[in-house]
Structure 1
Amino acid sequence: MVGGGAAARAGAGLFSRYVKEREYSSTCGFVCSSARISGVKRLWLSMVIAATGMTGVAEADGGVRGVDVSDRTGDVDWENVALGGGKFAFVQATEGADYRNPRFDGQFGGAAEAGLYRGAYHYAQPHESDGRAQADYFLQNGGDWISDGQTLPGVLHLEDNPYKDKNGKNSCYGLSTKGMVAWIKEFTVKYRRASGRHAIIHTTTSWWRTCTGNSAAFASNPLWLARWGSDPGSLPKGWKRHTFWQSADKGTLAGGQNSFNGSESRLRALANPPAEVMVSGETMSRTSYKVVVTNTGPYPVKDIKVSGRAFGGQRVVEAPACKFSGTAVTCRVKELPKAKKVLFVFTTKPRKAKGTVGMNITVGSVKLTLKAR
């Protein structure tokens, strides 16, 4: 029987999902009936707290203040926003697949010059084109994430159809709940693969319930909740906390009035995420083991070391692009660009035809055990 190694993720999410799917044993890893199982662990290559998808504890003073602006806002006095306590700004970049905010460059750049964290948002028009096409348009017109210490992940803006009289569509743009969920997945997956960040989702609880069937499929995407009033109220399914809250369309600061549900240090962490590498391993047979290292984060990662050691009375006899001797093997990756992966295949020679054999794999703090019998 061939078995895989343990699986986990730094932070919440992946580990709990794997536990639900497979019985976990502290000595044997995941106990599975399948003949070929991949063990998966996620490695965070930085001690910085991963801010994506989490918010921390809200500050007593209503969180960190910020604004959202578009072409309709006009010219913004960003110094005045900063002096008034604003720490971040969301700027509309695009809408649908053919509109770009003509003031975007000045607004986006002006927010940064005033020392604000800034992010771009895309106003979705799901009836006009598919999610991938609109994500691509957004990425090419200001929505791509920049590793400059000030840029927040891009935003997918989803609310009631504002052009019902013109396009004849309902509040959900004529899409079914299933179709809307599929559209959002297309957009968010495309954005994640291109930028290395999870897009923030801006929506209202009522729209989300009506138009997605209250889908819980997007918990990894930070929530920017729109609800004008004195409190954010109930949240859409899938989110336990909001990350941002739009509480009014106008106020003492320019544009819409918003707050970040956390400390300023957490906001900084959202703009400065840790590098992220996923390590997966698969037992192909008693004599063949596969390890894949994938850069799932927003930065190129340098100097990755993959170490392996065979056990069960076997030795390594082949490991392309790696150094090996006896039971040990060492591989190095000088640089792994974002969204890229590298594959290692190890071939062993057991001394006995029966009995448990396998390999222990180490990548940074991740330890993966692959077994076969």
Structure 2
Amino acid sequence: MKTRRRSSRRSKSSGLTTFLRVARFGALATIALGLASCAVTPSMTSSRYPTKSDARPHHGVAKAHRMPIHGVDISKWQGKVDWAALRQAGTKFAFIKATEGGDHVDNRFMENWYGAKQAGVPRGAYHFVYWCRPAHEQAAWFRKNVPADPEALPPVLDVEWNGQSVNCPKKVPREQALAMIDTMLREMEAHTGKRPIIYTDITFHKEILEGEFNDYPYWIRSTAAEPHERYSNRRWTFWQFTTTGRVPGVTGDVDRNTFYGTENQWRMFVQSACDPRDYRRLAAHGRCQPLDPIQTASIDE
């Protein structure tokens, strides 16, 4: 009897030791997994679009990956785009290069323009400004080559210096640049019926655009820091946060962008063609498409 009881105690002790070893191993494994997850880059852990990525992610723009509305900008350099795959990956919008200066059309513009529409990706056309061509000629060229589609997003005026241009690398005086921009914005709005978006980079904004055209939505480039760290007193509607994005449907690098607001604010932007933060003020002057009462009631979310 005593021997049996001692054997039972040894058996229980052995079982308890095994249990503690297993539990200790489980705890260590859990800690190890937790530490491993901390080592993963923010863009990998917090992205709302897991099939999209970045060939060279930068920690300074990690916040962009957590925002709900993402899109791309496209030109001939992306080659053939699979728009259905792009949409399935969660792409909510695309800005497509249309024209440059007064005599150049992106040779994939029409293909991309109608491909995006067929796939159900909201899209807008952009014009790249050439500072050695009169503004009215550039506006006429845009008008000639870009359909006035009432379902399209607002057009984009891309203003940056042409420093790498062989024929026109110069900068023009600030007042001349502002006058050219003003002409093109007004004529693009007259053609499309929608208030254009201004795209710019850090240098051009600092030298030309600070404090100017504040009634227009801005799409700004900042690939190594959040916009407020690079742009002085500039509210933005779109943020281009990387030029080395990877997205299903596009081979190689593509620019990735995010919209500033919520999914509901995005719906309001698409319907009204105005930044929701400006809707009441601009709508009173007939500058926005009408919103339905439900969306208008939640415009200040």
- Percent identity of paired positions between Structure 1 and Structure 2: 28
CA positional deviation for 1:189: 1.5
Q: Which has the higher helix share?
A: 2
Q: Equivalent residue for 2:140?
A: 136
Contact 1:67 1:88 in 2 (8 A): yes
Deviation at 1:141, TM superposition (A): 1.1
Shift of 1:143: 5.8
Shift of 1:115: 1.8
- Alignment-derived partner of residue 246 in structure 1: 240
How many residue pairs match? The answer is 217
For residues 264 and 140 of structure 1, what CA distance do their matches in structure 2 show?
34
Q: Take 1:188 and 1:274, find their aligned partners in 2: how far apart are those partners?
A: 15
Q: Is the 8 A contact 2:71 2:94 kept in 1?
A: yes
Alpha-carbon RMSD across the aligned residues, in angstroms, is 2.8
CA gap of 1:274–1:160, structure 2 versus 1, over 3 A, is closer
- Pairs within 5 Å for 1:43-122: 61-122=66-127
Q: How far apart are the structure 2 equivalents of 1:294 and 1:224?
A: 23
Whole-Å separation in 2 of the counterparts to 1:228 and 1:125: 24
What is residue 45 of structure 1 aligned with on the other side?
none
Q: Distance in 1 between matches of 2:273 and 2:85?
A: 32
Q: CA deviation at 1:138?
A: 1.1
Contact 1:181–1:215 (CA<8 Å) still a contact in 2?
A: no
- 4+ residue runs over 4 A deviation: 235-238, 293-299
Give 1:81 shift: 1.3
Query: What's the offset of the Cα at 1:298?
Result: 6.0
The match for 1:125 is: 130
> Helix, strand or coil for the counterpart of 2:264?
helix
Which of 147, 160, 176 is 2:150 aligned to? 147
Task: Give the drift of 1:271.
Answer: 2.4
Name whichever structure is richer in strand by fraction: 1
Cα distance change of structure 1 residues 136 and 264 upon mapping to structure 2, 3 Å threshold: farther
Normalising by structure 2, we get a TM-score of: 0.64
- Shift of residue 249 of structure 1? 1.4
Choose the corresponding residue for 1:185, options 182, 187, 194. Answer: 182
For structure 2, the 5+ residue unaligned runs are 1-62, 291-301
Pairing 1:157–2:158 present: yes
- Structure 2 partner of 1:199: 196
Give the SS at the match of 1:242: coil
Gaps of 5+ in 1: 1-57, 279-292, 300-373
**Residues 143 and 215 (structure 1), Cα distance of their counterparts in 2 relative to 1, 3 Å cut:** farther
Q: For residues 102 and 59 of structure 1, what CA distance do their matches in structure 2 show?
A: 31
Partners of 2:138 and 2:168 lie apart in 1 by 21
Give me the whole-angstrom Cα distance separating, in 1, the residues matched to 2:112 and 2:226.
Answer: 28
The two structures have a TM-score, normalised by structure 1, of 0.52
